[in-house]
Amino acid sequence: MGRSGLLLLLLLLLLAGPGVGVAWRPPKGKCPPRCSCSKDSALCEGSQDLPESFSPTLLSLSLVRTGVTQLKAGSFLRVPSLHLLLFTSNSFSVIEDDAFAGLSHLQYLFIEDNEIGSISKNALRGLRSLTHLSLANNHLEVLPRFLFRGLETLTHVDLRGNPFQCDCRILWLLQWLPTVNASVGTGTCAGPAALTHMQLRHLDPKTFKCRAIELSWFQMVGESALSVEAFSYQGEPHIILAQPFAGRCLILSWDYGLQRFRTEDELPAPSVVSCKPLVLGPRLFVLAARLWGGSQLWARPGPDLRLAPMQALAPRRLLRPNDAELLWLDGQPCFVVADASKAGSTTLLCRDGPGFYPRQSLHAWHRDTDAEALELDGRPHLLLASASQRPVLFHWFGGRFERRTDIPEAEDVYATRHFQAGGDVFLCLTRYIGDSMVMRWDGSMFRLLHQLPSRGAHVFQPLLIARDQLAILGSDFAFSQVLRFDPDKGLLEPLQELGPPALVAPRAFAHVTLAGRRFLFAACFKGPTQIYQHHELDLSA
């Protein structure tokens, strides 16, 4: 028994009056075996079960070295007048919900030097008069969140002598300590190793990383796809897929009744490799970049109309497009289409009147595989990856793109994607053979941060989902890897694998948020498009 518990017990015994120490038998029932009873108090030692038949007016009860294995709900309903309840040196290990139900007058609860390893979150429910609580010197490694909820009268709490594991499960306690108007003896950490013997009150809750995410499978969209893009039209999120084998650009929207994605519209586009949407007020444009038959621009003048072909795009320059991107230059929307043929050229198409027309040819004869629009130093830039040389960075100057620099030590890069974090610009470079790379802009060039094994990769795509900066490294030969950016380290670190079902030759990823839910789309070249739902997990719960 703790020293404070002994003092309080003696105090109450003294208050019992001149009859203390004289055996007293309650008017109803009798003093249970192995118990010593006075008028207002009882001390039981060595009892195999929880003693009963006490006077309903009993004020103080002490249980020492009993054989009780657990405290069940309503264990003390027959003694509702208790003001003090003490347990010491008992063998029970579990305290269930509502174990102290009915003890609305209880002020002192001492559960000390027992073998308790688990206490339910509602075990103390209803103790609205409790002022002193001791859970000292037990086997408690964690305490359930909300254990102290409703205990507004607490003035003293003793948690010392427990082997607390100071991980995410203890975070709520650290956050509770500065909010309570009670003196709390917290004790020390027994683990993990880095925090052993550390005082709980000296731990900083901000250093705990107790939020995790999970991507779980949600839905499948039949037919393979090479690209996927998210866009908002008329206030609703949409997804558009380039499906070359089905010969179409497929537009999906959310069905609020079925709680699934459904087909809203489609446009015929044989051998399509990219479907790039552009929304200008009520008008929707879709650039369909095709390997054969010429690339086209489709338009929907209003929400109640269907998409219709509007314009053939640069038929003499775009011979084998491989990628298309949207960018804004001098306040005007433009498309850049990367061309992978020897005779064609990557082309910048900008709006001029009702249509989009070639503004500039870039990088002729280099068989470009990817284009990425980004902003550096407050100016538009364009990064082109090709099969013939290292990625080349262009900057917008004087109404046209001019070559600025290339990416050092970056051979055989198939595609590039960028993201921003902490004021820095990072670059994800995809390599089919060799290691994919992560680089950071230093003000004059991109410099290598780290490399990731990526045999068979065609896509290494960053995505900002909720508060998480993710990057997904897709592979044709292994599970696709999801990585999360750690702002403290400035690096991407492994989070999880995508699947099952496994992605079959993934080529692009996109995410969309609707109705408070977040979804990830994975376009696959040799299998159906898979949709995953993003979940946030609280590890401190």
Domains along the chain?
A: 35-208 (3.80.10.10)
* Alpha-helix residue ranges (DSSP H) falling in 32-149: none
What is the model's pLDDT at position 365?
67
Backbone dihedral region of 291: left (phi > 0), alpha (psi from -120 to 50 degrees) or beta? alpha
Nearest of 147, 140, 97, 99 to residue 116 by alpha carbon? 140
Q: What are the CA-CA distances from residue 480 to residues 396, 458, 464, 473 (Å)?
A: 35, 11, 17, 6
Please give the backbone phi and psi of residue 153, each rounded to the nearest 5 degrees, phi first: -95, 0
Backbone dihedral region of 537: left (phi > 0), alpha (psi from -120 to 50 degrees) or beta? beta
Nearest of 462, 471, 472, 469 to residue 503 by alpha carbon? 472
- Please list the residues that pair with 492 across neighbouring strands: 485
Q: Which two tokens stand for residue 475?
A: 């592979």
Write a three-state SS string for 466-505.
Answer: CCEEEEEEECCCCCCEEEEEECCCCEEEEEEECCCCCCCC
Can you tell me the distance from the alpha carbon of 295 to that of 339, in angstroms, rounded to the nearest whole number?
A: 11
Backbone dihedral region of 44: left (phi > 0), alpha (psi from -120 to 50 degrees) or beta? beta
Q: Which two tokens stand for residue 150?
A: 């409703």
Q: Which two tokens stand for residue 69?
A: 């294995």
Residue 201 DSSP class? G
Can you tell me the distance from the alpha carbon of 432 to that of 460, in angstroms, rounded to the nearest whole number?
A: 10
Block mean pLDDT (10 aa), the chain, length 541: 44 41 48 91 92 89 92 93 96 93 97 94 96 96 94 96 95 94 94 94 92 93 96 96 97 96 96 97 97 94 92 92 96 96 92 94 83 96 90 95 92 95 96 93 94 93 95 93 93 91 95 94 97 92 68
Can you tell me the distance from the alpha carbon of 431 to that of 452, in angstroms, rounded to the nearest whole number?
A: 10
Q: Which helix (H) or strand (E) holds 15?
A: helix 3-15
Per the CB < 8 A criterion, the answer to whether 34 and 45 are in contact is: yes
Per the CB < 8 A criterion, the answer to whether 190 and 161 are in contact is: no
Can you tell me the distance from the alpha carbon of 318 to that of 347, in angstroms, rounded to the nearest whole number?
A: 7
- Please list the residues that pair with 439 across neighbouring strands: 427, 448
Residue 326: count other Cβ atoms within 10 Å of its Cβ. 16
What is the model's pLDDT at position 27?
47
Residue type, 4: S
What is the model's pLDDT at position 180?
92
Q: What are the CA-CA distances from residue 364 to residues 321, 342, 353, 360, 495 (Å)?
A: 13, 8, 27, 11, 40
Nearest of 102, 109, 113 to residue 75 by alpha carbon? 102
Dihedral sign, CA of 411, 412, 416, 421?
Answer: negative
Can you tell me the distance from the alpha carbon of 428 to that of 450, in angstroms, rounded to the nearest whole number?
A: 10
Give the up-direction half-sphere exposure of residue 52: CA atoms within 13 A in the CB hemisphere: 5
Q: What are the CA-CA distances from residue 30 to residues 18, 56, 79, 456 (Å)?
A: 21, 12, 14, 81
Q: pTM for the whole thing? A: 0.80
> Which distant-in-sequence residues (6+ apart) come within 8 Å of 423 by Cβ?
none
Name the residue with tokens 């403290």. Answer: 488
Per the CB < 8 A criterion, the answer to whether 40 and 16 are in contact is: yes
